[in-house]
Amino acid sequence: MAKFSILDLVFINEGNTPKDALANSVKVAKAAENLGYHRIWVAEHHNFPAIASAATSVVIGHLAENTKTIRIGAGGIMLPNHSPLVIAEQFGTLESLYPGRIDLGLGRAPGTDQLTLRALRRDSMSAQTFPEDVKELLAYFEDDANQLQVRAIPGMGTHVPVWILGSSLFGAQLAAILGLPYAFASHFAPGALMEAISIYRKQFRPSVYLDKPYVMVGVNVIAADTDKEAKYLFTSSQQSFTRILRNARGTFPAPIDDIDTFWSPQEKQMASQMLSYSVVGAPDTIKAGITKILEETKADELMTVTSVYDTDAKIKSLEILAKLGF
């Protein structure tokens, strides 16, 4: 049976502050734990007015401190923005504070624009060394890291679980070669999903980390009492993706009654394609949609993304999904 988890983008709602967003994420994490979700991840984004998780490891620590059992992790850390040693130290510290609960998902994209990348003091070509940086990071978590002249302290011997994240074939191939679990970002870039997971499964090499392939698939899930209400809540995401297309990003918008008054036909086509891996509706609609995705992908785990303006409505959506009993 597939596991169900949550990617929380820590949205800053219109009229709210980052402090409000972080408080809302704690509420969501506590609810997710009580509902039996397997893990909750937050993602590294810089210079995004709507997202409060730029200091990703700090947010993970805050969520872990306010929960007891649910796994907390990064979905992901954009490794080209960082030294592998620093990330090993950060997540080694988190694992030391919250043993057995920390995950580290790694992405190759910068998670921001080129101007912000320069502000991060990173080389725009640093993504080219992603495979070598992942291997270096893995070494810092091993027991025999004493053989290294440079060690991650904390970090050494913590064996923090590392995931490869991706939305293309590159990540699938790297995860397969290294024998690591693979998470596909189909919640916003579903185009190569089926090919990527096929390549990952076919090319997978058993490792000290994993003896067989493990696939996580991202899917937007918004559940409500009725299809109409869920579609209304979904308009916040639709507006947000349209703003990205317009390069007019802002805080996360409230839902609107008629999304067709907001976007042009071309914007609708583009944003809808990005959001095509979405299940939105009443419980029966959600059950049918999730069942179809699990049959298509044979995923070991679904990473659900519930981008809803109202936190109580978001928690209700999580409750509906949990009660369906997949």
Summarize pLDDT for 72-117 with one digit per residue, the tens: 999 999 999 899 999 999 999 999 999 999 999 999 976 566 777 6
In a domain, residue 236? The reply is no
How confident is residue 42, by pLDDT bands cut at 50, 70 and 90? very high
In a domain, residue 140? The reply is yes
The residue with greater pLDDT, 322 or 122, is: 322
Number of structural domains (the chain) is 1
**Burial class of residue 95 (count of CB atoms within 10 Å of its CB; 0-12, 13-18, 19+):** buried
Mean pLDDT of 266-279: 97
In a domain, residue 246? The reply is no
Q: What string of DSSP letters covers 256-286? A: -S-GGGTS-HHHHHHHHHHT-SEEEESHHHH
pLDDT at 145 > cutoff 60: no
**What residues does 280 pair with on adjacent strands?**
222
What pLDDT, on a 0 to 100 scale, did the predictor assign at position 171?
Answer: 95
| Nearest CA among 173, 198, 174, 172 for reference residue 185 | 172
Distance CA 232, CA 285 (A): 15
In a domain, residue 262? The reply is no
| Nearest CA among 40, 128, 37, 99 for reference residue 319 | 37
**What residues does 218 pair with on adjacent strands?**
303
pTM (two decimals): 0.94
Distance CA 183, CA 38 (A): 15
Tell me the two tokens of residue 74: 């990064």
pLDDT per residue as tens digits for the range 274-301: 999 999 999 999 999 999 999 999 999 9
In a domain, residue 115? The reply is yes
What pLDDT, on a 0 to 100 scale, did the predictor assign at position 121?
Answer: 64
Share of residues in the chain with pLDDT > 90 (%) = 88
Q: Measure the N-to-C terminal CA separation of the chain; round to a whole number of Å.
A: 7
In a domain, residue 272? The reply is no
Report yes or no: 250 and 48 within 8 Å, Cβ to Cβ: no
Mean pLDDT of 61-71: 98
- What type of residue is 101? R
What pLDDT, on a 0 to 100 scale, did the predictor assign at position 128?
Answer: 82
Per-residue CA distances from 157 to 48, 145, 147, 154 (Å):
35, 8, 12, 9
**Omega before residue 190 within 30° of 0, cis:** no
Pairing of strands 278-281, 301-305: unpaired
pLDDT at 149 > cutoff 90: no
How confident is residue 228, by pLDDT bands cut at 50, 70 and 90? very high
What pLDDT, on a 0 to 100 scale, did the predictor assign at position 273?
Answer: 96
Report yes or no: 239 and 247 within 8 Å, Cβ to Cβ: no
How confident is residue 172, by pLDDT bands cut at 50, 70 and 90? very high
What pLDDT, on a 0 to 100 scale, did the predictor assign at position 94?
Answer: 98
In a domain, residue 167? The reply is yes
In a domain, residue 34? The reply is yes
The domain in which residue 42 lies consists of 3-220+299-324
How confident is residue 234, by pLDDT bands cut at 50, 70 and 90? very high
Read off the CATH number of the domain in which 183 is found.
3.20.20.30
pLDDT, averaged across the chain:
94
What pLDDT, on a 0 to 100 scale, did the predictor assign at position 215?
Answer: 98
What pLDDT, on a 0 to 100 scale, did the predictor assign at position 112?
Answer: 63
Share of residues in the chain with pLDDT > 70 (%) = 96
